[in-house]
Amino acid sequence: MNTRRWAAFTAAISVSTFMAFIAPALAHHASAPFYDPESRVEFEGTVTRWVFRNPHAFLFLDVENSDGSVTEWQVELGAPVSIRRAGWTPDTLAIGQRVKVSGQRSRAEGSFGVCCVRMTRPDGRPVLEGGRVEEEQ
């Protein structure tokens, strides 16, 4: 086998091996199959559970409907290791705390799930002060 063919063969094997390991990881982290980016919802609710464990952190909120009934919404956040870098901890949210959530609604019919895009206190202040890293000017 000449050098050019050997290099092409080696490159093809390397790319194939790389794709075999990377494609499943990329597929796992895509949210579009589960959440509809065109269907955004915003609601305010009371924290009932805050699950801070792998593979994703989840927040459960009781949200009062217009008729006075209460629906439990499930809010998916990022992986704990990722949100911890932004300053989130298991103690960031307390049971009974009210928050306002904006996000992409679940595609699962009849579910009350959302992939969180933004979370604030009811008055609009951030839940976590200084949770974002800003570059110095």
Using the predicted structure, report yes or no on whether residue 46 has a pLDDT greater than 90. Answer: yes
Task: Quick: pLDDT tens for 58-105.
Answer: 999 999 999 999 999 999 988 999 889 988 999 999 999 999 998 888
Same domain, 13 and 42: no
Q: Is residue 135 part of a domain?
A: no
State what percent of residues in the chain have pLDDT above 90: 34
- 129 domain-assigned: no
Prediction pTM value: 0.68
Residue 135 has pLDDT above 50, yes or no: no
Whether 64 is covered by a domain: the verdict is yes
Considering the domain boundaries, does residue 133 fall inside one?
A: no
Task: State pLDDT tens for residues 94-107.
Answer: 999 999 998 888 87
Residue-range definition of the domain harbouring residue 18: 1-30
Q: What is the CATH number of the domain that holds 110?
A: 2.40.50.140
Tell me the three-class secondary structure of the chain, residue by residue. Answer: CCHHHHHHHHHHHHHHHHHHHHHHHHHHCCCCCCEEEEEEEEEEEEEEEEECCCCCCEEEEEEECCCCCEEEEEEECCCHHHHHHCCCCCCCCCCCCEEEEEEEEECCCCCCEEEEEEEECCCCCECCCCCCCCCCC
- Mean per-residue pLDDT over the chain, rounded: 79
Predicted local distance difference test score (pLDDT) of residue 17: 52
Confidence of residue 111 (pLDDT cuts 50, 70, 90): confident
Mean pLDDT, residues 34-41 taken together: 78
